Amino acid sequence: MLDLKFVRQNPQAVADGMARRRFPLDLPAFLALEERRREIITEVERKKSQRNTASAEVAKIKRQGGDAAHVLTGLGALSEEIKALDEKTKEVDALVSEWLLGVPNLPHATTPDGAGEADNPTIRTVGSPRAFDFPIREHQDIGVSLGGLDFERAAKLSGARFVVLKKGLARLERALAAFMLDTHLAAHGYEEVATPYIVNAESLVGTGQLPKFAADLFKLEGLASYLIPTAEVPVTNLHRGEVLPEAALPVAYACHTQCFRSEAGSYGKDTKGIIRLHQFGKVELVRLVHPDTSYDELEKLTGQAEAILQALELPYRVIALCSGDLGFSSAKTYDLEVWLPGQDKYREISSCSNFEDFQARRADIRFKPEGGKKTAYVHTLNGSGLAIGRTMAAILENYLQRDGSVAIPKALIPYMGGLEALAPEGK
């Protein structure tokens, strides 16, 4: 969340940042709560001054051997009034916290202005789309012809937007996860973690999914627990409520999980294939870093995600999300978009974001500077390295051969037991 002190001292700057986001900020509601809070605090201070005066008078009367009963009665009433006012202060503070939890992060100065997806500038394009001399097909048709995507049986088991992976594609998913993890551990210095797929509400509040995006989550009936929408949630919250030594920064974790999203509000979008499923695999990269280096770390993180696409020789581009397309918790985001020839377009395969101290403030993740006493909030970053299903879709479409087989990218052949291609069923 935003720093409450900053919001109180700079309400117009916050309003300007939300205007860049095209976010309808109810600043008058916050200012009204702040005015009410000040009124209550002023009244509390006045009552406490009266109580102090009355207490001094009681002490004086008792020293003189008099009866202070009449003053004590008023003193008791003052204490009850102060107690009631303190409760009102807590109520207002709770409303302020609730208001803050619904306000997104401020966009960084280098985040480009824009209203939405159409305004996202391309930073760089890497690789050239392949020229096909035979009909291009979409990944779901290719996967079915390989006998590796079974949507009908998945629907029988779980409903729409699920898939059963079989044969070579089941192995390809496993190979991709292992290749991604091995690359990030060996080449990029990450520590692998394996976390639960079920988290509590506090964890989702910490990373910003709750309370605003409850409709996008799968909640366990009768429990305040949820299936994870991304490994970002459990991995970032590993250090919730902790103070890290400065020497421990940066903390870098890589985690492979299944992710679960209800995709509320996305009906009719990407209903074919494996681009937008309720359950999908992903390798996530999470970094907890020193505030002074977080934007250098964002460039590093983005490059690490790009390295996977480069190793797989998949054409892609990097775009910067404009202020109106920015995720709720992010101050700046780069999206990696892989080329899908069957769709004749680039599609998102990773988002790499710097949240600054927005998540750390919600999750209370701090560090203690060397030689210093005062703690500070870390900056958190995360990015997909990569989304496995979308990587598989990109391989199926970019590596399709004339005979219907799909070549295996060279980097993956060792992970596929030496297999160099996936053949269609019956061949």
Q: Give a yes or no: residue 9 inside a domain.
A: no
| Same domain for 135 and 88 | no
Which of 22, 130, 276, 317 is catalytic? The answer is 276
With respect to residue 110, please indicate whether it lies within any of the assigned structural domains. no
The predicted model scores a pTM of 0.93
Catalytic residue among 161, 171, 261, 366: 261
Number of domains making up the chain: 2
Q: What is the pLDDT of residue 271?
A: 74
| pLDDT attached to residue 268 | 62
pLDDT of residue 67: 80
Q: What is the CATH number of the domain that holds 292?
A: 3.30.930.10
Q: What's the average model confidence in pLDDT over 183-190?
A: 98
276 an active-site residue? yes
State yes or no: is 351 an active-site residue.
yes
Question: Do 313 and 359 lie in a common domain?
Answer: yes
65 — pLDDT class (breaks 50, 70, 90): confident
What does the pLDDT average to over 279-284? 98
Same-domain status, 280 and 225: yes
Q: Which among 351, 353, 384, 405 is annotated as catalytic?
A: 351
Q: Are residues 81 and 140 in the same domain?
A: no
In a shared domain, residues 182 and 304: yes
Catalytic residue among 350, 390, 397, 405: 390
Average pLDDT of 5-22? 97
Q: Catalytic annotation on 405?
A: no
What is the mean predicted confidence (pLDDT) over 308-326?
98
pLDDT digit string, tens, across residues 335-377: 999 999 999 999 999 999 999 999 999 999 999 998 888 999 9
Specify the pLDDT at position 100: 96
What confidence tens digit (pLDDT) does each residue in 72-125 have?
Answer: 777 888 888 999 999 999 999 999 999 999 999 999 999 999 999 999 999 999
pLDDT of residue 392: 98
Q: What is the per-residue pLDDT for 52?
A: 87
Domain range for 38 is 26-101
348 tagged catalytic: yes
CATH of the domain at 39: 1.10.287.40
Mean pLDDT of the region 140-144: 98
Do 231 and 288 sit in the same domain of this protein?
Answer: yes
pLDDT in tens, 25-40: 999 999 999 999 999 9
Reported as a pLDDT band with limits 50, 70 and 90, residue 51 is confident
Percent of the chain with pLDDT over 90: 88
- Catalytic residue, from 57, 81, 313, 348: name it: 348
Q: What is the pLDDT of residue 266?
A: 60
Position 265 confidence tier, pLDDT thresholds 50, 70, 90: low
Is 130 found in the same domain as 170? Answer: yes
Of the listed ranges 58-62, 84-88, 158-162, 208-212, the least confidently predicted one is 58-62
Query: Where does a domain end: 101, 133, 161?
Result: 101
Regarding whether 215 and 333 lie in a shared domain, the answer is yes
pLDDT at 301: 98
Gap between the Cα atoms of 178 and 291, Å rounded = 31
Mean predicted confidence (pLDDT) in 273-294: 97
Residues 93 and 133 in one domain: no
